[in-house]
Chains A and B, each alone.
Chain A
Amino acid sequence: MELHEEKLKELEETAIKIRELIIPTLLEAGSGHSAGPLGMADIFAALYFHIANIDPKKPDMPNRDRIVLSNGHICPVMYVTMALRGFFPVEELKTLRKLNSRLQGHPHRQALPGIENTSGPLGEGISQAIGMALAAKLDKKNYHVYCLTSDGEHQEGNTWEAVMSAAKFKLDNLTVIIDRNNIQIDGYTENIMPLETMRYKYESFNWFVLEIDGHNISEFVNAVNHAKTIHDQPTVIIAHTIPGKGVSFMENQYLWHGKPPNVEEAKKALKELRTLEGKITSEHE
């Protein structure tokens, strides 16, 4: 799928909008995760607004691409992106984590149309994506399965069970994206339980591996396109991201993994995000 200059600009602006909406959404919720959602805004903008064949009016469309979120705790970025894409009213974001809401603290497939899998407990997304990719092969459907994962959940045994089996089943209709932001709740991944070298780990499991700057939308789109040219092999895109991207006091701080901003912090964050607009665009020029 080609990415014209104009569309790229539009996607970058969408990513900024996503970040700007994440802050009040988290503030209103009073709990939840900040760093991961901000770090993944560019990738979510590209997936939902450009790459994936999805229709918010027909969330059950049989041939839709599947977007499987494995690390459910970054759902604020998914909810915000889905709202902006038209899956539900933006106003509803205020209900996140509240009683009777469709926006559960961790995503629930039964709660909200457009969600493909219930997630939160880590390490289970790639396996579920494999099931969907196998079903596509059996039914001779050409939808693609995108699975978004965290780096931290690569400490789960289930993740590697899944990695092993996706290669066995030669799932070239599966693309896994790793948010390589180097943080997890208790600290930096390489201190908690080292994950490097991710590339070689995946290569040795017989995956096709791409590494990108996760804040560069055109790099991401190119990687997704590249993945689609690979046959009989699943692809992993290791997206290097800055947790908390766009908010200086959150960036690269693992303490922001699992907490929301307070009123003052939210104000400061929004101010930064708005003034950053020009800067983020210029990075890609």
Chain B
Amino acid sequence: MLNPDLHLNEKLFDTDVETKATRDGYGTGLLKLGEEDENVVALTADLSESTRANLFQEKFPERFFEIGVAEQNMAAIAAGLGVSGKTVFMSSYATFSPGKNWETIRTTIVYNNSNVKIAGHHSGVMTGPDGATHQATEDIAITRAWPGIDIIVPCDAIEGEKATIATGKKYGPAYLRFSRDKSPIITTQKTPFELGRIDAYWTTKNPECVIFATGYLLYNALVAAYELEKAGTNVLVVNLSTIKPLNDHAVIELTQITGSVVTVEDHQVMGGMGSAIAECLARHLPSPIEFVGLQDTFAESGTPKELVEKYKMSVNDIKKAVNKVIGRK
């Protein structure tokens, strides 16, 4: 059942569950931070409305910098602001930032330890009809290898707002990953959120498997758990929103309880959240793992729903992965 201690959305499994894009949380979180702290500034590379930075732009035009279609320039300008007392948020599509400007971020923000938060939007196949060029499906892999950066993938718009605010209150580089289309609201304002905190959103007695899910696909994982339980298979579902630093302790503890693992992410299975879990468990508690995500392929144009199904990240795919991994124990 949904963990009663976490104040999750009680209408989660209703057909008319409220939906909102996680990127909306970026917009409102950034606006709130801007209201609290005049040292918060924001930049974008010609994608103000699409990344929801426009809310901040309208309220604080003097603290907003439109850089135009130049992601490397945006990153290094952000770096200069971030070492000059500013808390800097920069947003674009993740394929361009941190994609196109990867080395600029590496040198001038991460290694340089500048106070810059990189908001990567339009992540995953969920980006939909724009096609594979605009679907960021390697961004976790390329940011996760950087020493000393925080990486957060919120599961819904509410957590998106909380994550944005939390990174703004901590000095240092951070990567926030957002998605384009509307997805179910899973949490509430009361649901606890801290960087590095991991909670089981679906709990049960005697679970046989733990599903670690990140981003909006957490919803599919929760629906899978609900349906699996009806069919007699008990699992835990964990919202793994902070991918780095990974809460190793919690990952090990949850795996110890279940003995098998499924990871779920709208990202390549190579180098993503599932890889982070696998690295942790290979060191401390080798366990059978199945990885739900893009299987070493680019996706294509289509609706988010069609793409999630074709590329095997649906509720059914998660259920299959659970049954398979339990069979491997």
Interface residues of A (CB under 8 A from B): 62, 68, 108-110, 116-121, 123-125, 127-136, 138-139, 157-158, 161-162, 164-165, 169
Contact = CB atoms under 8 A, between A and B. Distances in A.
B74 to A, nearest CB: 8
A139 to B, nearest CB: 7
Contact of A116 (B62, B73, B76, B83): B83
A118 B111 contact: yes
Contacts of A124: 72, 76, 104, 107-108
Given A128-B108, A161-B72, A134 B81 contact: yes
Contacts of B286: none
Contacts of A136: 84
Contacts of B65: 134, 169
Contacts of A133: 80
Nearest to A119: B107
A131 B104 contact: no
A128 B72 contact: no
B77 interface: yes
Given A124-B104, A134-B65, A135-B86, A157 B72 contact: yes
Contacts of B112: 108-110, 117-118
B287 interface: no
B70 to A, nearest CB: 4
B83 A127 contact: no
Contact of B77 (A62, A109, A110, A130): A130
A75 B175 CA distance: 30
A125 B76 CA distance: 8
Contacts of B41: 138
Contacts of A158: 70, 72-73, 76, 104
Contacts of A127: 72-73, 75-77, 79-80, 104, 108
Nearest to B45: A161
Interface of B: 41, 62-63, 65, 67-68, 70, 72-73, 75-86, 103-104, 107-108, 111-113
A138 B73 contact: no
Q: Which 4 A-B pairs have the closest CB atoms?
A: A131-B80, A127-B76, A135-B84, A161-B73
A131 B107 contact: no
B70 A121 contact: no
A117 B83 contact: yes
A110 B113 contact: yes
Given A130-B77, A158-B73, 7 more contacts: A109-B113, A121-B103, A123-B72, A127-B73, A127-B108, A131-B79, A131-B82
A162 to B, nearest CB: 5
Nearest to B111: A118
Contact of B86 (A125, A128, A138): A138
B230 to A, nearest CB: 54
B85 to A, nearest CB: 6
Contacts of B75: 127
A212 B292 CA distance: 62
20 contacts: A62-B85, A110-B113, A117-B80, A117-B112, A118-B111, A124-B104, A125-B76, A127-B104, A127-B108, A128-B76, A128-B80, A131-B80, A131-B81, A132-B83, A134-B65, A135-B85, A135-B86, A161-B68, A165-B67, A169-B65
Contacts of A118: 107-108, 111-112
B106 to A, nearest CB: 8
Contacts of B86: 135, 138
A131 B73 contact: no
Contacts of A134: 65, 77, 80-81
Contacts of A165: 67-68, 70, 73, 77
Contacts of B72: 123-124, 127, 157-158, 161
A120 B76 CA distance: 13
B107 A121 contact: yes
B295 to A, nearest CB: 33
Given A109-B112, A162-B73, A165-B73, A132 B107 contact: no
Given A124-B108, A128-B80, A158-B76, A139 B85 contact: yes
B154 to A, nearest CB: 27
Contacts of B107: 118-121, 124
B174 to A, nearest CB: 17
A228 to B, nearest CB: 20
Contacts of B78: 131
Contacts of B70: 158, 161, 164-165
A165 B69 CA distance: 11
